[in-house]
Amino acid sequence: MPPRADTANRLRERPVRCSAGAAERANLIGFARPRLESFFESLGERPFRARQVLKWVHARGASEFEPMTDLGRSLRARLGEVAEIRAPEVEDHRVSADGTRKWLLRVDSGNCVEMVFIPEGHRGTLCVSSQVGCPLDCAFCSTAQQGFNRNLTAAEIAGQVWLAVRALDRPVTNVVLMGMGEPLLNFDAVTEAIDLMLEDLAYGLARRRVTLSTAGLVPGIDRLAHRAPVSLAVSLHAPDDALRDRLVPLNRKYPIAELLAACRRFAAVNPKQKITFEYVMLDGVNDSPAHARALIERLGTVPAKVNLIPFNPFPGAPFRRSPQAVIDAFRERLNGAGIVAITRRPRGDDIDAACGQLAGEVVARAARGRRSALAAMQ
């Protein structure tokens, strides 16, 4: 059944809002089971109340406490005083000619992020954001050009899934943390949101159906392997340090050899899954036969698959997309060497929803935010 076109508009017209004083209330939409159990214990309630509320909020999409009829009336009233269920507000919603959907979501009075849903056959992939902007300044990414303001909370990340499930008439089968931001720079909030994605009482996704994409934050990869070993994607984009330093400045702190060592450690903890290496195809920059040969040599000791991404232009971008024949030849060289490589088909580029095009709205303070985030890297 195709998605209802008016659903997102209704969400925009009647967003889940907090009333006066709500800043002091606990936003339960971002509480995974352990924290929710502790919350109920702090109210003098039994921990099993967490199971009931998880089902209501995430499986049933409840936005208020009053309909939760398996909770006593006095508890519902108490929850209304000390807690809330609040997702980001829908500011705008666009639908691409290919069925891709993009939402602009307001997370506070000065900031918005973007969320994308990509339908394909029986698969429905939701791309969520983890930060307002991004501090990593990758040269080919529109989000990076907007600067950085702050991390999203677990409620703001999980709330994106909550909104999409309510707005769509088809299931979200996969979630990718590939939207705005570097997820591993927001580790605690991201992993709590992942817990909710995997929680059987919430969204019940398998670990292989949740993918976190990182630009290569080595300590974060090691932490993720033991804390939330979901599928891992690494934004590589170059086979040598000199080029990657230019395209992905984080490489100056964690060069390719250190990054691939972390990937091998991650693979040792999660031996059944290959690591996806994302490689944006930039005309005359990283797409030559020599680059392909160097990439093959680099990935020889890592259980890898490569996702070739045709560059998606944005205003002021200094790059061009590699010609399709060049992309095809690059892919065939990798496949011929025994490395599984596919070309990602651009989706939603007519509404700026394709990979590297998400921008949202980031308020002034961007340069200061970028410096603070880089200084705080692990």
Q: Which residues are catalytic?
A: 114, 355
Do the Cβ atoms of 210 and 253 come closer than 8 Å?
no
How would you label 312-339 residue by residue, b for 16+ Cβ within 10 Å and e otherwise? bbbeebebebbeeebbeebbebbeeeeb
Alpha-carbon radius of gyration of the chain: 21
Rounded CA-CA distance 366/6 in Å is: 35
Residue carrying the six token digits 């997102």: 8
Pairing between strand 131-133 and 148-151?
A: antiparallel
Amino acid symbol at 45 = E
The dihedrals phi and psi of 226, each to the nearest 5 degrees, come to -100, -25
Rounded CA separation 11/223 (Å) = 36
Nearest partner of 306 among 294, 319, 323, 318, judged by Cα: 294
DSSP, collapsed to helix, strand or coil, labels residue 162 as helix
Contacts 24+ apart (CB under 8 A), 269-273: 269/225, 269/226, 269/229, 270/225, 270/229, 270/232, 271/303, 273/208, 273/231, 273/232, 273/303
CA separation, residue 238 to residues 5, 139, 277 (Å): 40, 12, 10
Question: How many whole angstroms separate alpha carbon 136 and alpha carbon 107?
Answer: 21
Distance CA 292, CA 317 (A): 24
DSSP 321-358: BPPHHHHHHHHHHHHHTT-EEEEPPP-SGGGT-STT--
